[in-house]
Amino acid sequence: MAVPVSQAWTVATYVLKQKFLGRKKYPLVLMLEPLFRCNLACAGCGKIQYPAHILKAELSPEECFKAVEECGTPMVAIPGGEPLLHPQMPEIVAGLVARKKYVYMCTNALLLKEKLHLFKPSKYLSFSVHVDGQREHHDFSVCREGGYDIAMAGVHAAVAAGFRVTTNTTLFDGADPNSVRAHFDELMVAGVESMMVSPGYTYDKAPDQKHFLGRARSKKMFRAILSNRKKTWRFNASPMFMEFLMGKKDLTCTPWGMPTFSIFGWQKPCYLLQDGYADSFKELMETVQWQNYGTESGNPQCANCMVHSGYEASGVNYTFGSIKGMLQTAKAMFFGSYKDDGAQKILNEWKPASHAPLVQIASPVAQIADHLQEVSGD
């Protein structure tokens, strides 16, 4: 299976409980952001474009635990920034594991090998390594030559040490679906438990605004990538979300499905948009005008979004929303190779886009991260 049976059971019973209680709006995964600083400066990122005093700030373990208890979800993702730059990250992770939360600690893996000894393998902990494709494409995406080799070295080290390891691949315009499929093969050979793949979101603050995918091109690309699927591939995503990416399923956004808590508080309305902050999870759920978000709302900020944080919960909700949804999901899980001659034709005719030579971005973000790491002595 793509996830342990115990995790699948925990999530299923949690969702069914919400359905039984008649709750139409409930969180699936908490996006916990203890800091924004990073040791990379990716051109497509909109999370690190803050002034120095903000990049130096971080949540305490107690603030993290309070947010997790307040939200009540069985799963917690820890994105950033780069979580391994937080000096108390091992304490935060240990506290969440002790609370029996399934933790996906997102990382670019530049520090993973040297920090592994600070963590203990557990069924509740997975390192979610951000790898954006094969070597050339990943290095271009993260604006750092050699980034792929370091990330994969971290993957191999974590797998060898007995940790659960998943990956997160974000695709932008110019990605070659043939290369992405080869990338999936490489990750499976490396011993990765499962993979997550999603189109990038068009962050307003991202330095590169030219390479975000529109909806039509996203569906064409994901149809080519995810059709004629190999049996060896394992994905850390709901089958219905995957069908949505391929253009086979219509889903509406669930902006409350993955609420975000950061140094600013509870982010309105979702992980991708910043329309203010709430002081509590209850306030977030009760005060946001949810009808103003999602593609169907007409909000231009949501027009091209097909991102995991907005639609994974939609896929899960579809699965558990009816007998039909459960049957379709079961069929996709056990018989979902998605044979498609048209998709194969797209692969055969796809012409890889060329790009300029890789330019490594010199950023004060990375300098701050390096300085703080030197000061902490980690």
Q: How does pLDDT run across 48-80, given as a tens digit for each residue?
A: 678 889 999 999 999 999 999 999 999 999 998
Convert the pLDDT of each residue in 103-149 to its tens digit. 999 999 999 999 999 999 999 999 999 999 999 988 888 888 999 99
Task: State which H helix or E strand residue 268 sits in.
Answer: strand 265-269
How confident is the model over 170-192, as a mean pLDDT?
92
Name the band, by pLDDT with cuts 50, 70 and 90, for residue 354: low
pLDDT at 361 over 70: no
In this prediction the pTM is 0.89
The CA angle 77-263-236, to the nearest 5 degrees, is 10
Whole-number mean pLDDT of the chain?
A: 89
pLDDT at 206 over 80: no
Helix residue ranges per DSSP H, the chain? 5-20, 52-55, 61-71, 89-98, 112-115, 135-142, 147-160, 177-189, 215-226, 239-245, 281-287, 308-320, 323-335, 341-349, 364-376
The pLDDT, as a whole number, for residue 47 is: 67
The pLDDT, as a whole number, for residue 367 is: 46
pLDDT higher at 282 or 272? 282
The pLDDT, as a whole number, for residue 200 is: 77
pLDDT at 358 over 50: no
Domains of the chain: 28-376 (3.80.30.10)
| CA–CA distance, 280 with 254 (Å, rounded to integer) | 19
Q: Which among 167, 182, 143, 148 has a CA at the least distance from the CA of 352? A: 182
Q: In angstroms, how far apart are the furthest CA atoms of the chain?
A: 57
Convert the pLDDT of each residue in 13-56 to its tens digit. 999 999 999 999 999 999 999 999 998 877 767 666 788 899 99
The pLDDT, as a whole number, for residue 117 is: 97
pLDDT higher at 177 or 141? 177
Angle, nearest 10°, between helix axes 341-349 and 215-226?
100
Task: State which H helix or E strand residue 165 sits in.
Answer: strand 164-171
pLDDT at 364 over 70: no
pLDDT higher at 130 or 295? 130
DSSP for 221-238, please give it.
HHHHHHSS--TT--BSS-
How confident is the model over 73-100, as a mean pLDDT?
97
pLDDT higher at 293 or 205? 293
Give whole-number Cα distances, 336 to 8, 229, 231, 251, 252, in Å: 18, 8, 9, 19, 22
What secondary structure, in 3-state letters, does 38-60 show? CCCCCCCCCCCCCCHHHHCCCCC
pLDDT at 220 over 70: yes
| CA–CA distance, 110 with 344 (Å, rounded to integer) | 35
SS3 113: helix
With a CB cutoff of 8 Å and minimum separation 6, the contacts of 305 are: 201, 202, 253, 272, 295
Structural tokens at position 217: 């091109």
